[in-house]
């Protein structure tokens, strides 16, 4: 796989690039695992905008993904590797031996015809889902559960992987891609391997029209608005805002902590994720 760059026939072409999708094997999804999703344009059930700068975009069909990987003891064959418009990594369609079909997040290196399964007794190879207690230390994993049986919540982005650092008692220490080190119960499941499509971060959008296709409308600076529309608006000439950066409702935008201090999982964090200026932990 790689990045394709077009001839610079225009300014948008010159500054944009696309994924060549060389790994994909089909362009048609499994109909039985698809459903329509209704767009709301960033508005709640009262019609009030709660998320700004959203709307429009190409129509999407949601693929139902098996994040739990709880079909133990039944081997499956990888039928396809597909594109999913709802996430940045690829997905794979599994055909189980009993006839059931499920979508999973495709790990890097998976190919059609591969055999994978889930459960504590399966072999620790790429694509297999196992409890953390059964995965050897040092292996890369993704789609990690925070509560056993809940389904994978952590490490689901393209090209990402976490690493199992240590095991002690009922807890397993995992190093996340952000550099955060946290403890997870040993019963929680994870899938072995690094997620596919690592070149996603190297794709350049290039023009505003591609963002509109993604459902993103123009993002307007607060200091460019009128005082009636934003606390940082108004003023004569060019101004930096005249106050600390904030949202239209006055919530400070920089330096404030947004994480709930009463989050019950806070006590399981051994080391916070590193500041971007300090660099991230190398896995």
pLDDT of amino acid 180: 95
Tell me the whole-structure pTM to 2 decimals: 0.90
Contacts of 19-28 spanning 24+ positions with Cβ under 8 A: 19/197, 19/199, 19/200, 19/203, 21/83, 23/81, 23/90, 23/196, 23/197, 24/81, 24/82, 24/83, 24/90, 25/80, 25/81, 25/82, 25/112, 26/80, 26/82, 27/82, 27/83
Angstrom distance (rounded) from CA 163 to CA 177: 8
pLDDT of amino acid 282: 45
Task: Output the CA torsion 258→145→105→127 (10° steps).
Answer: 140
- CB 182 within 8 Å of CB 162: no
pLDDT of amino acid 251: 87
pLDDT of amino acid 1: 62
List the domains of the chain with CATH numbers: 3-200+259-278 (2.40.50.140)
Tens of pLDDT, residue by residue, the chain (283 residues): 689 999 999 999 999 999 999 999 999 999 999 999 999 999 999 999 999 999 999 999 999 999 999 999 999 999 999 999 999 999 999 999 999 999 999 999 999 999 999 999 999 999 999 999 999 999 999 999 999 999 999 999 999 999 999 999 999 999 999 999 999 999 999 999 999 999 999 999 999 999 999 999 999 999 999 999 999 999 988 888 888 899 999 988 888 777 888 888 889 999 998 665 454 444 4
Strands 162-168 and 140-142 turn out to be: antiparallel
pLDDT of amino acid 220: 94
Q: What is the CA radius of gyration of the chain?
A: 22
Angstrom distance (rounded) from CA 190 to CA 134: 10
Of 201, 199, 197, 212, the closest CA to residue 12 belongs to: 212
Query: Tokens 């495709």 belong to which residue?
Result: 106
Structure-token pair, residue 163? 């690493």
Angstrom distance (rounded) from CA 188 to CA 152: 9
């Amino acid at each position: 796989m790689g990045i394709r760059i077009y001839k610079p026939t225009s300014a948008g072409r010159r500054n944009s690039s696309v994924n060549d999708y060389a790994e994909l094997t089909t362009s048609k999804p499994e109909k039985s695992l698809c459903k329509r999703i209704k767009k709301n344009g960033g508005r709640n059930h009262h019609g009030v905008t709660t998320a700004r700068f959203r709307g429009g975009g190409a129509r999407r069909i949601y693929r139902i993904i098996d994040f739990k990987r709880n079909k133990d003891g039944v081997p499956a064959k990888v039928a396809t590797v597909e594109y999913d418009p709802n996430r940045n990594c690829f997905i794979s369609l599994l055909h189980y031996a009993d006839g059931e079909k499920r979508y999973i997040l495709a790990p890097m290196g998976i190919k059609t015809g591969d055999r994978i399964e889930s459960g504590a007794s399966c072999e620790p190879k790429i694509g297999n889902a196992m409890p953390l207690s059964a995965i050897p230390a040092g292996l890369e994993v993704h789609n990690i559960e925070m509560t056993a049986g809940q389904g994978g919540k952590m490490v689901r982005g393209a090209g990402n992987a976490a690493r199992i650092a240590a095991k002690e008692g009922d807890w397993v220490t995992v190093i996340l891609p952000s550099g955060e080190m946290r403890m997870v119960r040993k019963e929680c499941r994870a899938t072995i391997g690094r997620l596919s499509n690592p070149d996603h971060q190297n794709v350049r959008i290039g023009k505003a029209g591609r963002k509109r296709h993604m459902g993103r409308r123009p993002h307007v600076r607060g200091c460019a608005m009128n005082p009636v529309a934003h606390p940082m608006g108004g003023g004569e000439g060019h101004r930096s805002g005249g106050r600390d950066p904030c949202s239209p409702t006055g919530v400070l935008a920089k330096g404030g902590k947004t994480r709930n201090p009463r989050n019950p999982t806070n006590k399981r964090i051994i080391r916070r994720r590193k500041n971007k200026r300090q660099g991230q932990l190398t896995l």
